Amino acid sequence: MVSYEEVQASNSQIVTTLPAGLVAVFIGGTNGIGEYTLKQFARHTKQPRVYIIGRSEDAGDRIRKECETLNPNGSFKFTKSDTSLICNVDELCRVIKAREKEINLLFMTIGTLDFYSNTSEGLRRSAALVHFARARFIQNFLPELQAAKSLKRVVSVMAGTKEGAFDPEDINADRAGLIGARGHAASMVTMGMEVLAQKAPDVSFVHDFPGPFKSGIGREMPGLLGVVLRTLAAVIGPLYNIPNAESGAYHLFFATSAKYPPRSDATSASGVTLGEHTSAARGTDGNIGSGMYSIDEKGKSASAAVEQLLSEMRKSGTLKKLWTQTESEWHRITGSIKAPF
């Protein structure tokens, strides 16, 4: 576990230890942890160039202006888009790739509690946001991430350390039920990132669990269960939620600290130097500093049981089956496994 004091100490060094002009892409930066982390990024970096993607133009414009106030020397661009559609993902990436040759940080928080509706492209919307779109963003931006001369990191906020049983024949988790859906989705995110981490050993990948925090994600949960969840969040949430600034600070730490280095020995890409009593985190393969990390809201690595589960899924070919299905769906929707850039 990483203390809040360690987080604050590390974040305070970003402006002096990481170079000016860091390029970051925030997918889902207009609400919740995406917003909180974006503001911390604006506060602690020097002359950043930030791309903010979200569905609410009002929220996007508000947050962009707030970031410009926090960092007048930074560049903050907002684009409205529905990122549950893979074609939209490819178009967003095409535009950003035309402007940027290097990307230091890809930070993703997109998701939904609507487990029943499908997108116009024929994917279950929840699976599209949590896995298919996130994995597509990573794959599309890997060349720019690898080209970066300093920090090279992907952070995907969903349910790190909560990985559970995953059935590659039930990718939408129709048979998993509400209890099993989180573990299923968490494993899908982690396994997808593991595939991409193998292709880019000089980039570090973090899948984290956000813990309790104030978010608008529950507004899309349909039916009576949605009403109950929103009511509980309104009544009980303030008693347990991590303060917005603290949540953002932790996620900025996950995005910039050398505690989560890439698998290769690219020291310049590791992030802010570790404190005297802090060591690199254990990766999902059980090895220290192995480049792909599943962590909780305080930065603690996944349990031995989760690591064993992931190991068994790798050995059984589950990871390969997931990626084969992923590429098959991408090809069905776009006509290509890879975007035509």
- 167 found inside a domain: yes
How high is the pLDDT of residue 216? 59
CB 258 within 8 A of CB 280: yes
Beta strands in the chain (DSSP E): 23-27, 49-54, 75-80, 105-108, 153-157, 204-208, 292-295
Number of structural domains, the chain?
1
80: which DSSP letter?
E
Q: Tell me whether residue 92 is in a domain.
A: yes
DSSP-derived letter for residue 130 is: I
CB atoms within 10 A of CB 244: 17
Q: What b/e string do you get for 7-26 counting C-beta neighbours within 10 Å, with b at 16 or more?
A: beebbebbeeebeeebbbbb
341 located within any domain? no
**Of 132, 144, 75, the residue nearest 108 (C-alpha):** 132
Residues 6+ apart with CB under 8 A from 108: 26, 27, 28, 134, 137, 154, 155, 156, 157
- What pLDDT is attached to residue 220? 60
Residue 321 located in a structural domain? yes
pLDDT at residue 116 in the model: 85
| Residue pair 75/50 in contact by the 8 Å Cβ criterion | yes
- Report, as ranges of residue numbers, the positions in the chain whose pLDDT lies below 70: 213-240, 265-268
Under 8 Å between Cβ of 283 and 292: yes
In a domain, 340, yes or no: no
Q: pLDDT of 41-84, one tens digit each? A: 999 999 999 999 999 999 999 999 999 999 999 999 999 999 99
Whether residue 115 contacts residue 35, with contact meaning beta carbons closer than 8 Å, is answered with: no
Q: What is the CATH number of the domain that holds 239?
A: 3.40.50.720
Q: Are 291 and 261 in contact (CB under 8 A)?
A: yes
Cβ contacts of 274 within 8 Å, gap of 6 or more:
257, 258, 259, 280
Residue 21: what residue type?
Answer: G
Please tell me the distance from the alpha carbon of residue 147 to that of residue 333, in angstroms, as a whole number: 28
> Does residue 282 fall inside a structural domain?
yes
Q: Is residue 36 included in any domain, yes or no? A: yes
Instruction: Retrieve residue 329's tokens.
Output: 């769906």
**pLDDT for residue 241:** 77
Would you state the pLDDT for residue 114?
A: 84
| Model confidence, pTM | 0.93
Query: How far is 314 from 163, CA to CA, in rounded Å?
Result: 13
Q: What is the structure's pLDDT at 270?
A: 86
- Please check whether residue 272 is in contact with residue 236, taking contact to mean a CB–CB distance below 8 angstroms: no
Half-sphere exposure of 158 (CA within 13 A, CB side): 34
How many Cβ atoms from other residues are within 10 Å of residue 205's Cβ?
28
Smallest CA-to-CA distance from 189 within 310, 288, 24 is with: 310
Q: Which domain holds residue 81?
A: 4-334
Report DSSP letters for 268-326, one per residue: GGS-BPPPTT--PPB-TTSSBT-SEEEE-TTSPBPPHHHHHHHHHHHHTTHHHHHHHHH
CB contact burial 253-274 (16+ within 10 A = b; e otherwise): bbbbbbbbbbbeebeebbbbeb
Please tell me the total number of residues recorded for the chain in this structure: 341
